[in-house]
Structure formats: C-alpha cells, structure tokens
Structure 1
Amino acid sequence: MPGLDLGQFKALLVCPVLGQLGLGGNAAFNLLTGTALVESGLVWLRQNGGGPALGLWQMEPATHDDIWRNFLRFRPDLASAVRQMGGSGAGVGRADLLVGNLAYACAMARVAYVRAPGKLPMATDSAGLSAYHKQFYNTALGAADAQRNEPLFARAIAA
C-alpha cells in the first residue's frame, strides 16, 4: 500500500514539530512516528470503516476537544505553540484541522501523550513504545494490539 516515506515523515515533520513544541527527544520522535504507523499506516486521513478518528494519528474529535477544554486551556504557552502549528484564522483549534494540517495533527497527538501519567519508554524499546501507545493513546477499549504492533514501532525507531 502506498504511503508517505517513513524517514522523511519522521525527519521533516515529526522531529521539527516536536522540537518547536519543546517536547522532542528520540523517545518522543519514535513514539509519534510509530503511533502514526499503527493508527493510519501513513495512508488514511479519515478512519477506515466510517469511524470518527481523523488525521494520520487517528485522533477522535471528542479527544481533540477534550485536550483543548481540559488541558491546553490551563497551559497557555503550550496552547500558543499548538495554535501556531494550526496556522492563523478562525479554524485554529478545530478538530477538522487534524485531516489537512499534518503539523497540527502531530502536535495534538504529542499533547495527548503529555497528558499521560506514565514515563516515556526508552527510545529504542519498540515493545515498550508499543505498550505505551496501547495504554495511553489507544486505550484498553481500542482495537490496537501492542504485541502485533511492536514491529511498526521497530520500523519507526529504525527510520
């Protein structure tokens, strides 16, 4: 299945976005790259099968809105940095930006992980990153399988 080049995706999108947010580091770069691979295969901008998830990180609008309402609202500096990723205009902060604005979608996925209580696994721990994704991004009720997705996180690490 065609998709984005993983090395370019990581180097030209994920790393710069997380760096601009001040939320980078190799573990975060690999986690966000692996998450996009698991969630969308770097192909789908809307959830396959008609679900509500949007963008390469497949964030649901309800999650997006909750991040703004209950997290970013209380962190004005981080909120400002995320808004800059969204560009200017009345649409900044709307969930539909997750589809067409890759930098904004990446920033929002990283913020979703910032809310997680667990410490990031080591940057080279593909099994740990996959388990972290399952626990804190996909959740217990989600369809992700940490063991099955571990090779995708290994690809993200190698990119």
Structure 2
Amino acid sequence: MGGIDPSDLKWRVVAPVLDRLGLGGAAAVNLLTGTALVESRAARLVQDGGGPALGVWQMEPATHDALWGMLEGAEHADLQTRMARMTCTDIPRVRQLIGNLRYGCAMARVKYFFDPAPVPAAKDAVRICAYWKRVYNSALGAGVVDSVHIAAFTTAIRA
C-alpha cells in the first residue's frame, strides 16, 4: 500500500511545521517522519479496524485533548499560540488530525515535547524507534521495537 512519499512528508510538512513551532532539528524531524511511517505507513487517516486513532500520526482523541490541557498555562502560552495557528476555525481541532497534516504533525510533536528525555541522535534509528515506542506508542500500544519498525525510522532518516 502506498502513502505519502517519505521525502515529501519530511521536507514539505514535518520540517516546516517543527520549525514554526520552534521544536525542530534533524533528530525531531526524523522522529516525526518515522512516527508517521510506523503509525500509519503515512497512508491511513483513521485507525485500521475502527479504532479511535486519527490522522497519519494516529493520535487518539483522548490524547489530543489531554495534550491541550497540558498546554494551558502561562509557561506554554507561546507554544499554545503557535499550535492554534496550525488550525482552521470551522472544524473542531480533534477532527483536524485527519486532514490537516500540519496540525497532526504539530500535535504529535507536542506529545514528545512533554517527555523529559532528549530526542535521540538524528541518525540512530534503533534509539529513535525505542523512543517512539516508550513515549508515543507506550507500553499499552501494539507497536514494538523490531526490524520492521526500525526500518521505517531508517527510511525517515534517509528521506
């Protein structure tokens, strides 16, 4: 099954979005590109099997809403403003995870933002994959750190 070309996703969506958020850099760009590849093959707009996850970054509505709650407060006012600029006003934000690539990417980056550990080195596919599993997919998620998932992060790095 095809999806968004990894290079297009990386350089035309992920890198500019992370730059606008002030949360970029090569490691973060590779992490977010790889996350889309492992979560949905950068192809699915809703979760296989009717699950709740939305968009190519496969974020669940409850996670989306919890992250917005974490953004409240003066210490995150600038990031909250930058996030709001990624949205349009006529569609509920959570529904924009489906069709607004900029917003879906930004929300996925915010998920990682709240983890205190630094993003692993930009070219370390194994550690980036392990970081994705721990922070984004979590112990409850179906994802694993294996050769298939590591290969997706390698694709992201090479894109």
Q: TM-score, normalised by structure 1?
A: 0.95
3-state DSSP of counterpart to 1:85: coil
3-state DSSP of counterpart to 1:151: helix
Structure 2 residue runs without a partner (length 5+):
none
AA paired with 1:117? P
Give per-residue Cα distances to partners, 1:21-41, cap 9 Å, x unaligned: 000000000000000000000
Map of 1:118 onto structure 2: 117
Give per-residue Cα distances to partners, 1:88-144, cap 9 Å, x unaligned: x2545x211100100000000000000112111000000000000000000011000
Give per-residue Cα distances to partners, 1:46-98, cap 9 Å, x unaligned: 000010000000000000000001x21121110110110113x2545x21110
Alignment of 1:78-97 (within 5 A): 78-87=79-88, 89=89, 91=91, 94-97=93-96
AA paired with 1:145? V
3-state DSSP of counterpart to 1:49: helix
Distance 2:133 2:123 in 1: 17
3-state DSSP of counterpart to 1:86: coil
Distance 1:18 1:86 in 2: 15
Distance 1:142 1:5 in 2: 25
Distance 1:45 1:116 in 2: 25
Alignment of 1:140-159 (within 5 A): 140-148=139-147, 149-159=149-159
Alignment of 1:60-79 (within 5 A): 60-69=60-69, 71-74=70-73, 75-79=76-80
Map of 1:8 onto structure 2: 8
3-state DSSP of counterpart to 2:86: helix
Distance 1:53 1:78 in 2: 23
Map of 1:102 onto structure 2: 101
Distance 1:154 1:5 in 2: 14
AA paired with 1:33? T
3-state DSSP of counterpart to 1:55: coil
Over the matched positions of the two proteins, sequence identity in percent amounts to: 51
Distance 1:118 1:95 in 2: 27
AA paired with 1:18? L
